Chains A and B, each alone.
Chain A
């Protein structure tokens, strides 16, 4: 199958600092890929390399089957949307959309057609004669998307496009970007540090750390089967609960001696003998109440802190000597000091080797 974007053995160094190291990435036609990671992990750098705004140190980039490693940004068949919108402030919205096309010498009626189409898709028709200062943040970002749209390209690049917006607008525009992708079916590469954006938008997420892709997979796999401790800790809010301990056959023994059965856990590779390991359980996989007695592991605990979130409630407690949060229905009344029974199935959790931090 023809890949829309292919990255082969890409490296980028700034002096002695290795920002990207031997990175490979294949993106299918029409796929929505999110590059996710903390600041400084190289995700924006990777996007700038794809866009041609940074010269790579080594490796190759293919877009639409064409080697574009040394092509100019405008010849790569890409459109890009920036965090600061990067609109040209002295020009009207209409000029902003059409300026690049005019410079390239395109015919006027073709330009008008494209601008009209972009305005229709993004519903910015009434704003065309305004200047960027007269627009709200959300409107500005729509215009910025429109500027990528009129280029009529195969690949859209988004560099943290929603980070400058407030929470409400962010979720509105997030849905709109998803709608846009469903309508246009372009390949989209989207950089963010916001895991909600990543999980909601992506076909596949690439979780990055120190210039290396840790895991490249669909959101469900990333969330439920993280390949290593880093991905497990980075995705999910509140964080996955972690227990240090030792793995002995079908039992995980926590540091305080509590034994947790892992008979239901689907090991990636068979583990023999006794190994130091870390077990991780998502807060929503811990079950509250009497029915948890039937789970492979259950314990009587005391509630320490209760955080009602509206749609659900987070509770803090201690299991096997570790601080643990779990999520429960918001209708359940919990009080600090209350004694409850909680349980979980280790089969829904993740177990990592302490030594390599990789999933077992």
Chain B
């Protein structure tokens, strides 16, 4: 009898102990596997960002030093015409290219959603620019916009001899030429994400809309589009990061010119760290560039938190 009681006691206590042990025990292999990446992430991103931030308060020239001069670098930064134009440019570039990117990305996704033949081929074509370096994209568009060998000369050869189309040579239009190149490069990715979102919509929603007699364009705009919040947000954030760090396409297309018409903050940072030998000023600009990125991430976090709370409330 006593033996039986002991046995049953052990049987009872075993299952309660087991999960506790499982919770404490980490998987050794997973730690070994992820450590290098964690170290890289912390080392490269966090530590480097912290040092950039610290050096932005110093008068570092060719080499970083620790002579702190307070906010002088930031004051100088915001007094600089070059920087202010850069900031203005990145806003114009951002609003235009994000807007065009989202609209055309969605339109392309809708086009791809029409059960067209050769869908894979078209998807590859639209995605292809993204696989190429922005330097290549920029160079190709620079040639296209070049008055002597691009679109303008081609149309002139066809007979319209007074045709003018050379956006990159004009200070007022150069930025829009860059926008065009950027959109062409990134729109395929937006399309792919939006297409995945479109395909994720329950087919019965489409059937219900058909029975209700809602035209396809209205279904796409008023029913399906709001259902794709997740896909839209993903595509948007992805493109946002591209806007803040826009650099290579500008270098390839205009080198920031004509004059300083297409200067961008990232170019400013690189120029001050290398050519102009002023690490402190470069770091101040870089730290300033970090602010909008943090703002976007915070916004996303806030939105997620709010939707989570809303869901919890509903339950």
- Report A's interface with B, CB cutoff 8 A: 48, 51-53, 72-75, 78-80, 82-84, 86-90, 99-100, 103-104, 133-134, 144, 147, 151, 159
Given contacts A82-B204, A103-B212, A147-B208, contact A89 B311 (CB under 8 A): no
Q: Is the CB of A99 within 8 A of B212?
A: yes
C-alpha spacing A83/B207, complex, angstroms:
12
For chain A, what secondary structure do more than half of its interface residues adopt (helix, strand, loop), or is it mixed? mixed
Q: How many A-B residue pairs have CB under 8 A?
A: 65
Q: Is the CB of A74 within 8 A of B210?
A: yes
- Nearest to A53 among chain B residues (CB) is B207
Choose the segment among B170-178, B186-194, B213-221 that binds chain A (4+ C-beta atoms closer than 8 Å): B213-221
B211: which of A73, A84, A90 is its contact (CB, 8 Å)?
A73
Contacts of A74 in B (CB 8 A): 210-213
Interface flag for B226 (CB, 8 Å) = yes
Q: Is the CB of B311 within 8 A of A51?
A: no
Q: Is the CB of A83 within 8 A of B218?
A: no
Given contacts A53-B210, A103-B212, contact A90 B223 (CB under 8 A): yes
Contacts of A133 in B (CB 8 A): 311, 314
Interface flag for B205 (CB, 8 Å) = yes
Q: Is the CB of B208 within 8 A of A103?
A: no
A-B contact pairs, 28 of them (CB 8 A): A51-B207, A52-B210, A53-B207, A53-B211, A74-B213, A79-B211, A80-B207, A80-B211, A82-B204, A82-B208, A84-B204, A86-B202, A86-B204, A86-B205, A86-B207, A87-B208, A88-B205, A90-B223, A90-B226, A90-B227, A100-B213, A103-B212, A103-B213, A103-B214, A103-B215, A104-B213, A144-B208, A151-B211
- Nearest to A51 among chain B residues (CB) is B211
Number of B residues with CB within 8 Å of any CB on chain A: 19
Contacts of B223 in A (CB 8 A): 88, 90
Q: Is the CB of B211 within 8 A of A78?
A: yes
Contacts of A100 in B (CB 8 A): 211-214
C-alpha spacing A151/B311, complex, angstroms:
31
- Nearest to A131 among chain B residues (CB) is B314
Within 8 A of A (CB), among B87-101: none
Contacts of B215 in A (CB 8 A): 103
Contacts of A89 in B (CB 8 A): 226-227
CB distance from A324 to the nearest CB of B (A): 41
Instruction: Give the residue among A48, A51, A89 with the most B Cβ atoms within 10 A.
Output: A89
CB distance from A201 to the nearest CB of B (A): 21
C-alpha spacing A334/B226, complex, angstroms:
61
B314: which of A73, A83, A134, A147 is its contact (CB, 8 Å)?
A134
Contacts of B211 in A (CB 8 A): 51, 53, 73-74, 78-80, 100, 151
Given A52-B210, A74-B212, A79-B211, 6 more pairs with CB closer than 8 A: A51-B207, A72-B213, A73-B213, A75-B213, A90-B226, A133-B314
CB distance from A56 to the nearest CB of B (A): 16
CB distance from A190 to the nearest CB of B (A): 16
- Nearest to B210 among chain A residues (CB) is A73
Contacts of A48 in B (CB 8 A): 207
The 6 closest A-B pairs by CB, nearest first: A74-B213, A100-B212, A90-B226, A86-B204, A86-B208, A82-B204
Instruction: Give the residue among A72, A103, A134, A147 with the most B Cβ atoms within 10 A.
Output: A103
- Nearest to A72 among chain B residues (CB) is B213
- Nearest to A84 among chain B residues (CB) is B204
C-alpha spacing A52/B211, complex, angstroms:
8
Contacts of A84 in B (CB 8 A): 202, 204
Contacts of A99 in B (CB 8 A): 212, 214, 222
Contacts of A83 in B (CB 8 A): 204
B218: which of A79, A87, A103, A151 is its contact (CB, 8 Å)?
A103
Contacts of B226 in A (CB 8 A): 89-90
C-alpha spacing A74/B214, complex, angstroms:
9
Given contacts A99-B214, A100-B212, A100-B214, contact A82 B207 (CB under 8 A): yes
C-alpha spacing A86/B205, complex, angstroms:
5
